[in-house]
């Protein structure tokens, strides 16, 4: 325990939660080895501090240490940044350049946001971890390096491996020793201590009296979710230290600084159609295709039903033709039985089958036009008539943009 407290004092770590103490204990134990370490935790919990602890307590502490944010390096240049490149290997490579694994030879490299690393770079990293060898971009010469790798992520890498976004073999190679840094919500007892420390630091920096919290305000502070963890708490302490009029902060005053925590809306919503800046209207055409084919299916079923009724008056008499919503919604009655034509009208999902009919041997289905352009033009004309030529209202009714409607008017030569 004395060793853990000395680490806290040396690196300015505040808190006494069991989860934090265990993470520090694991970091201290693994520091004297060359094992790869995967530090897992939410954004803002201080994962980089743990990488510094491991390097500073290791035998490599006098050699270079470098932290690399994999999510901040473009995919096209990350191989060059990590492994170097030869002159002329790509556009802009006017000179040869050493990568981080070459310059940090003998030291430690911390790869933050490892989950953002491209799959091609992951293969290079895996080879380097397995053999200690790497090849510069544009070179065929194999080089050796002796670098300890510490990685960190705020993502579920195991889930990423199942989705094909992260190499499974690399995951198990990096996860030799996992260290989970607890979120601020999991160490609530440390929140008042951290807040107090930050306030004292800011009062010294800005030469102002340090603020205090009353009991109710302290309770609100402890139970706030702190999604940004220690980083968010520190920013809030600085904001309150500068802007608070009264140095004794009440619950009402504290609520002015804390953003509202809204529960996620679980109600269904209609997604608005997204405007395409490049003139691609394929999404609208897909919607029209579906609409037209659904209409064709319903109209065909309705034709069959009327054809059957006209040829067999007993069907209309048996059902009294009272199901008026059948015509409106195109949903026929589940079953109508007669002596001459049993099951003449089937469920909406099945075609109408004529059985045991002496009057009708066969029927022909008159196919309506399947021209998308004709149907599209017809809908546009109807919408304009309905809204008395108002393009904006017609476009809204059709579910397309006014710009698209104007283009369609020109395309089909529709006169308003």
Count of Cβ atoms closer than 10 Å to residue 208 Cβ: 14
Q: What is the pTM of this model?
A: 0.62
Residues 6+ apart with CB under 8 A from 9: none
Tokens of 405: 């409607």
Q: What is the pLDDT along the chain (416 residues), one digit of tens a residue?
A: 668 999 999 999 999 999 999 999 999 999 999 999 999 999 999 999 999 999 999 999 999 999 999 999 998 899 999 999 999 888 888 899 999 999 999 999 999 999 999 999 999 999 999 999 999 999 999 999 999 999 999 999 999 999 999 999 999 999 999 999 999 999 999 999 999 999 999 999 998 888 899 999 999 999 999 999 999 999 999 999 999 888 899 999 999 998 875 544 444 444 444 444 444 444 566 666 667 667 777 777 777 777 777 767 665 555 544 444 444 444 444 444 444 434 433 444 444 444 444 444 444 554 555 577 778 888 888 888 888 888 888 888 888 888 788 888 888 888 76
| DSSP three-state, residue 389 | coil
Beta strands in 253-334 (DSSP E): none
Report CA-CA distances (Å) from 276 to 282, 284, 400: 9, 10, 11
**The tokens 């919408």 sit on which residue?**
383
Q: How far apart are CA 157 and CA 168, in angstroms?
A: 9
Residues 6+ apart with CB under 8 A from 185: 225, 226
CATH of the domain spanning 2-182: 3.40.50.300
Q: How far apart are CA 2 and CA 335, in angstroms?
A: 83
Residue spans in the chain of domains classed CATH 1.10.10: 372-411
Name the average pLDDT for the chain: 81
| DSSP three-state, residue 180 | strand
Residue spans in the chain of domains classed CATH 3.40.50.300: 2-182
Strand pairing class (142-144; 133-135): antiparallel
What angle do the packed helices 391-398 and 372-386 form, to 10 degrees? 130
Count of Cβ atoms closer than 10 Å to residue 320 Cβ: 7
Report the CATH fold assignment for 372-411. Answer: Arc Repressor Mutant, subunit A (1.10.10)
Angle at 241 between CA 236 and CA 244, to 5 degrees: 100
> Phi and psi for 238 in degrees, rounded to 5?
-65, -40
Tell whether the torsion through CA atoms of 216, 218, 222 and 228 is positive or negative: positive
> Phi and psi for 240 in degrees, rounded to 5?
-65, -40
Q: How far apart are CA 69 and CA 117, in angstroms?
A: 9
Residue spans in the chain of domains classed CATH 1.10.8.60: 185-257
**The tokens 């980089």 sit on which residue?**
48
185-257: in CATH 3.40.50.150:
no
């Amino acid at each position: 325990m004395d060793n853990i407290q000395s680490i806290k004092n040396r690196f300015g770590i505040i808190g006494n939660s069991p989860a934090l103490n265990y993470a520090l204990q694991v970091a201290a134990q693994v520091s004297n080895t060359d094992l790869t370490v995967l530090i897992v935790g939410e954004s803002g919990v201080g994962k980089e501090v743990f990488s510094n602890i491991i390097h500073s307590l290791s035998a490599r502490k006098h050699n270079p240490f470098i932290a690399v944010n994999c999510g901040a390096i473009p995919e096209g240049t990350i191989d060059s940044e990590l492994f170097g490149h030869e002159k002329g290997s790509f556009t802009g490579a006017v000179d040869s350049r050493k990568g981080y694994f070459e310059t940090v030879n003998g030291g430690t490299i911390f790869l933050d946001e490892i989950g953002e690393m491209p799959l091609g770079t992951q293969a290079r990293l895996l080879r380097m971890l397995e053999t200690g060898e790497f090849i510069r971009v544009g070179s065929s010469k194999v080089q050796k390096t002796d670098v300890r790798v510490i990685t960190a992520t705020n993502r579920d890498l195991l889930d990423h491996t199942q989705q094909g976004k992260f190499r499974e073999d690399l995951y198990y190679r990096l996860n030799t020793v996992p260290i989970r840094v607890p979120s601020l919500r999991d160490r609530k007892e440390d929140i008042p201590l951290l807040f107090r420390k930050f306030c004292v630091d800011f009062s010294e920096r800005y030469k102002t009296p340090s603020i205090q919290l009353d009991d109710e305000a302290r309770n609100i502070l402890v139970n706030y979710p702190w999604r940004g963890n220690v980083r968010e708490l520190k920013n809030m302490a600085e904001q309150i230290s500068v802007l608070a009029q009264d140095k004794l902060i009440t619950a009402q005053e504290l609520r002015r600084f804390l953003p509202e925590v809204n529960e996620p809306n679980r109600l269904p919503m209609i997604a608005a159609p997204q405007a395409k800046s490049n003139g691609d209207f394929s999404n609208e055409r897909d919607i029209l295709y579906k609409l037209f084919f659904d209409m064709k299916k319903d109209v065909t079923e309705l034709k069959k039903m009327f054809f059957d009724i006209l040829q067999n008056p007993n069907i209309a008499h048996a059902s009294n033709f009272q199901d008026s919503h059948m015509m409106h919604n195109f949903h026929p009655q589940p079953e109508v039985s007669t002596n001459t034509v049993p099951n003449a009208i089937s469920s909406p999902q099945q075609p109408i089958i004529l059985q045991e009919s002496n009057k009708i041997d066969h029927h022909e289905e008159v196919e309506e036009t399947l021209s998308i352009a004709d149907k599209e033009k017809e809908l546009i004309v109807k919408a304009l008539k309905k809204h008395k030529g108002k393009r904006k209202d017609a476009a809204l009714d059709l579910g397309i943009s006014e710009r698209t409607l104007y283009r369609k008017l020109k395309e089909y030569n529709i006169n308003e």
